[in-house]
Amino acid sequence: MAKIDTQKIIAPIMKFVNMRGIIALKDGMLAILPLTVVGSIFLIVGQLPFEGLNQAIAGIFGKNWTEPFMQVYSGTFAIMGLISCFSIGYSYAKNSGVEPLPAGVLSVSSFFILLKSSYVPTKGEPIADAITKVWFGGQGIIGAIIIGLVVGSIYTMFIQKHIVIKMPEQVPQAIAKQFEAMIPAFVIFFLSMVVYILAKMLTKGGTFIEMIYGVIQVPLQGLTGSLYGAIGIAFFISFLWWFGVHGQSVVNGVVTALLLSNLDANKALLAAGKLSVGKGAHIVTQQFLDSFLILSGSGITFGLVVAMIFAAKSKQYKALGKVAAFPAIFNVNEPVVFGFPIVMNPVMFLPFILVPVLAAVIVYGSIAIGFMQPFSGVTLPWSTPAIISGFLVAGWQGALIQVVILAMSTLIYFPFFKFQDNLAYSNELKAEG
């Protein structure tokens, strides 16, 4: 009976994970990782939080010394919405087995059709052929995602159903592929125009992307940025992994855009010198997940690895501890998840869920009470080792909180490990005797 119930849970999860749109979303958001990680480094250099150091550098290089750094930020992190629109449309077509480049190009074109083609300053007349760049970044990312998915799906449908202009075989393939995109391009552009008109009517002069930002993105950012959102992220990463589904990948695919938008808003507050929870800074950003909720891997299994190394009696767990130690430094714990195993193991379900949930509460509380500053500066790869990552994203306070989380992981995992280890040790003695 238990097996039937488990399969009933796994089936819809796997169906969701393997949807074309979800795969395209995960792959597409992964494509902007170099922009967000490297771009944020240039931002933090251009917005040093030490006024004395800023003045000293300005005395050497001039008061506008930060301008080149902000230019790099402007061309990387600040356009992640635009780039994700291309990459998601591209990924959708690629994963569907059709020529992907036109899908990415059409997605970007549709994105611009759905923006205002002029900039209206606070005072004065609209400026033609000028677009406010704010919608290229975090504020426009949900609209960009929707556009990339819709354009990718429409383009893919036309290509797969052969509703295209077919060129003679003598025509080079590179040219023929572009003619195949003509009919879907016309349909996509026409639909984009219709949406532009409807959005302008519904919002009294606004755009589709602005409407999505107000109706969908702002509420979702508020939800993910809450304590309940932080707990939900921590819970579902471990919950999905327990069933053998790559929880981090799935959850990242769903929340990364929102967490990066939260981070983008924090960066704006940093630039204005107003980075604090009281001034509206978001607590839950991508660093919250990457640098604190998956320390040593999903489920924060550091304590389990420590227990295997220092307290295991069974041969299998002594050996597994040695194998799992090095990957855990870089937040990789598949050897533990599948080798211990944690997947489908009822003994390990509670600690595997509880540890990251408590970690979410600890980190959220630390920022809420002012012990740690809201995240804003360096965005690191999720594989950056503990302590180092904590220090780089949140100073010594971040490193200390990571130590607290790792100690908590050890305390919680230990009794569950001992129970499992005793069973394994007993089985080994029986096998030997």
10-residue stretch averages of pLDDT, the chain, 433 residues long: 54 75 85 80 70 75 82 85 93 93 95 82 65 82 92 95 84 80 94 94 87 84 85 92 80 83 84 83 91 93 95 92 91 89 89 96 95 84 89 92 97 94 89 76
Strands 127-128 and 118-119: antiparallel
**Angstrom distance (rounded) from CA 96 to CA 84:** 18
pLDDT at 223: 79
State both tokens at 237: 């990463």
What is the DSSP-derived secondary structure letter of residue 119?
E
One-letter amino acid for residue 345 of the chain: N
- Residue type at 367 in one-letter notation: I
- Give the domain ranges of the chain: 6-225, 236-432
400 closest CA partner among 358, 355, 366, 354: 366
The Cα-based distances of 280 to 115, 272, 368 in angstroms read 27, 12, 11
CA dist 224 and 91 (Å) reads: 25
**169: Cβ contacts below 8 Å, ≥ 6 apart:** none
Q: Rounded to whole angstroms, how far apart are CA atoms 355 and 201?
A: 49
DSSP state for residue 211 in the 8-state scheme: H
What is the rounded distance in angstroms from the CA atom of residue 267 to the CA atom of residue 264? 5
Planar angle of CA 427, 429, 430, nearest 5 degrees: 65
Provide the β-strand partners of residue 118.
Answer: 128
Q: CA-to-CA distance for 383 and 381, rounded, in angstroms? A: 5
Which residue shows structure tokens 């944020």? 40
Integer CA distances (angstroms), 83 to 64, 76, 179, 231, 331, in order:
28, 9, 24, 30, 28
- Which residues touch 3 (CB under 8 Å, ≥6 apart)? none
Alpha helices in 272-314 (DSSP H): 286-288, 302-311
Cβ(103)–Cβ(28) under 8 Å? Answer: no
Instruction: Give the Cα separation of 405 and 407 in Å (integer).
Output: 5
φ/ψ of 127, rounded to 5, equals -105, 115
How many other CB atoms are there within 10 angstroms of residue 109's CB atom? 19
Tokens encoding 429: 């003695």
Neighbours of 49 (CB within 10 A): 14
Instruction: Burial-class residue 45 by CB neighbours within 10 Å (0-12, 13-18, 19+).
Output: middle
If DSSP codes are grouped into helix, strand and coil, which group holds residue 191?
helix
Q: Is 388 helix (H, G, I), strand (E, B) or coil?
A: helix
- Summarize the chain as % helix, strand, coil (round to 5): 75, 0, 25
What beta strand segments (E) does 315-371 contain?
A: none
Residue 348 to residue 420: CA distance in whole angstroms = 9
Return the pLDDT at 251. 84
Query: What DSSP line would sit under 24-88, residue for residue?
Result: HHHHHHHTTHHHHHHHHHHHHHHT-S-HHHHHHHHHHH-TTTTHHHHHHHHTTGGGHHHHHHHHH
The confidence score (pLDDT) of residue 348 equals 92
CA distances from 296 to 12, 55, 93, 356, 386 (A): 28, 40, 35, 11, 7
CA dist 282 and 288 (Å) reads: 10
